[in-house]
Structure 1
Amino acid sequence: MMQISFDDKDLKCKRYEVNQEWMMTIAYYRGTLDEYEKHPKIQALVKESRDCDYIIAPIADNRMFQIINSFIAGELTDEQCKHCLVATNLGMQYIFISEKAASQVEVVERCYKVNFSLT
């Protein structure tokens, strides 16, 4: 994990919450919606995700993706999926899309997680 600083002046941000828009966008980028890639709704989601300088979104990790796969497979409704995802307390991540945004990032500190046990 890193602590960063960046100047967001004149940068366009797309912010996602745990909702269907975010779930479908993640599913698209993970390759589970390939058969729907020409659908106007999917094309609109992809356009929004690319028409910005940076994104702030819930962390899209493998734990979260298993829940979204259950939604895509029809095993969970969108509401059940959202409740499961909210309960996992994903945290937020920043994704820098444009060169302009990436050039304004400064790493302030690298944080390392150390795991050890006393036995």
Structure 2
Amino acid sequence: MIKVNCEYNIKEDIDFILESEKMNILEFSEKTKVSRTTLDSISKNTKPRDDVYEKIYSYAYENKYRINSVKEDLIKEKYQNVLFHGSKKGLSEITIIGARENCDFGKGFYLGETYSQALSFVCEMDKSSVYSFKYTLENLNIKRFQCDLEWMIAICYYRGKLRDYSSNPIVDKIVTEIEMADVVIAPIADNKMFYVMAQFIDGEINADVALHSLSASKLGFQFVFKTEKSLNNLVPIEKYYISLPEREDCRKLLNDRSYEIDTKLKLAKREFRAGLYIEEILK
């Protein structure tokens, strides 16, 4: 288990906006509708109310300041190895004990390579936020996947779609390797992608159609820290506030990506009619 003591760096973010906009605190108060008294309290490291966060970060985002994305670039330059986690309600500590089992690779702490990846999984939740972590893979057992059949079988197994093939030697080998790993590194699969995978498992499409459809996602890779030992290789960096306009922009992008996957699936069905089906692969 590791402790997560990150808070929003609102004081530093306000200073950045003031400097960038070349405005004083009174002007900033007028533009954000946040009282001068509240801004003075923040400058003394007093934690503000939730509505104050929203006013300040919405103002920044609507004025083209992509603070969170820029911070991503800066911390990657500083630390090199950085990952991001989207949390629905916030984090105080991380442990594998009690983690959900029906995720892509079973129990574990899931992180992505970029801020936008993490944001995409929690942008629908009002109280959600994103965290950044430094990491190392030293002295850990790593299982890596690409966007291939093995990856698809693994996700379908852990999401409960392969019960009819649970004793198959191909499935057993993949699951055993995952369960022996401290960290799994694999392409990210969201619910829209799992919908395509489920069609493959149900025998509606062949493997080639599924994989060519899934290759349209381009969500990057996820890092799943599956053991308490692996958690010790994570160090929290910062917590990021997600304003309402940023959430809305993220939802629009996800909607556009959903249409892209649907189009790729329709085209793949036309191009790859001769591929193998699930019962032929796991016979």
Q: Are positions 1:10 and 2:136 aligned together?
A: no
Amino acid across the alignment from 2:226: I
Q: Which has the higher contact order (CA 8 A, sep 6+)?
A: 1
Describe the superposition over 1:68-102 as per-residue Cα deviations: whole angstroms up to 9, x where unpaired: 00111122211111111110212211100111101
Q: Distance in 2 between matches of 1:107 and 1:70?
A: 38
Amino acid across the alignment from 1:109: E
The structure with the largest strand share of the pair is: 1
1:1-119 maps to which residues of 2 (within 5 A)? 1=118, 2-116=131-245
Identical residues among aligned pairs (%): 35
Q: Distance in 2 between matches of 1:88 and 1:52?
A: 26
The alpha-carbon distance between structure 1 residues 70 and 113, as it changes in their structure 2 partners (threshold 3 A), is farther
The alpha-carbon distance between structure 1 residues 54 and 66, as it changes in their structure 2 partners (threshold 3 A), is same
Structure 1: tracts of 5 or more residues without a match: none
Structure 2: tracts of 5 or more residues without a match: 1-117, 119-130, 249-283
TM-score (norm 2): 0.39
Q: Alpha-carbon deviation of 1:7?
A: 2.2
Q: How large is the Cα RMSD of the aligned pairs?
A: 1.5
Q: Distance in 2 between matches of 1:67 and 1:107?
A: 34
Describe the superposition over 1:19-56 as per-residue Cα deviations: whole angstroms up to 9, x where unpaired: 00000000000001012111111111100111111011
Structure (1 or 2) with the larger CA radius of gyration:
2
SS at match of 1:38: coil
Q: Distance in 1 between matches of 2:165 and 2:185?
A: 25
SS at match of 1:106: strand
Give the total of aligned pairs. Answer: 117
TM-score (norm 1): 0.89
